[in-house]
Structure 1
Amino acid sequence: MVNLKLTPYLSSYFHSISNLPTKWVNDIKHLEFSELLSSSISVLALIYNWKKKEKDEFVEIASGALSSSFVYGDPLTSIASIAVLANAYHKTKNKNILRKYKWASIRGFAGVGAFALSTKLISIPLLNILIGIIAAYTVKNVVKSLRLFEYLNYLRTLKFYLPYIKKEISRRDFLKLDIFAFKAV
């Protein structure tokens, strides 16, 4: 049996434990369309079975939503994007596809992060969107060139390990890496 003198203290203690912070409640009450769309993307990724190109694009979108949710402080989109990225990583075991996902997520983080930061830093509405689009486009192209550098580094290590390879194949076959394809006799 509970002592009746302690009842007010117990009820206030349970009330403080069960209450959500008002900042969280206000954030949930004022969901924007972009937040709702980006949080529903994760549900779509779990339900549908997309092709490789669609999954690659989706990982780019999800990582972009994750970086924008970090910039804008949106907890729902952060949780949804992390769940989607974890699910994509868990389902994929092929190293080549994981590398593509890695570069897609880097493009998403960098592009949307650059857009979100530039729109936060510039206070003029039309100008910040234009500069944000230019910044996102520039950052995405820089990331694509970084992937090209990774590919060139792979080719250099291939020449280092197999120095005789250049004499036996043409330059086009070497660049397309057709030497590793199965050729029926």
Structure 2
Amino acid sequence: MYFLLGGRILFIARFQYHWTFERIDKYIKEGRGQGEFENYKPWLTVRDVPSNGRVAREMGTKVKREYHFLSDLERYFFYILEWQDSVVDIREQYPILEMEKTVEIAELLGFAHPKDPKTKINIVMTTDFMITYKNDQGDVCYAARSIKSFKDLLKKRTLEILL
């Protein structure tokens, strides 16, 4: 939804973007962040979060399901993965559901774990992509990748979250 204000177009998020324990439980019960191949459901979809940039949904050719991208960079990286013969599965907006571990890691590094600014509860950390691929010996391997712009990589907080 959008409206004009003083000649500027302002966008309004479809849903309020605040994390609660009930919302996290609901996402887990819906199977978000779980499954593989055609059965995978991303933790976040383009309808769940407000975006400062362009979001996109696209059908995959390698794995036939709809993918959700929160930036053009994510979508471009997906195109690269789609063309890699070694890649067998791509899972976007992949959650790290062991929140105790992410909180512990943040504390060990002296960083504040991301919290919802309104509810003050810890946010489930995600990585942009969890990639399943076969190495040269044919073994199944996994790689997590976060895709950020150069401008974002200059921000201290972005680097803290990526650690």
**TM class, shorter-length:** under 0.3
Higher strand share: 2
From the CA coordinates, give the structure whose radius of gyration is larger: 1
Q: TM-score, normalised by structure 1?
A: 0.23
Higher helix share: 1
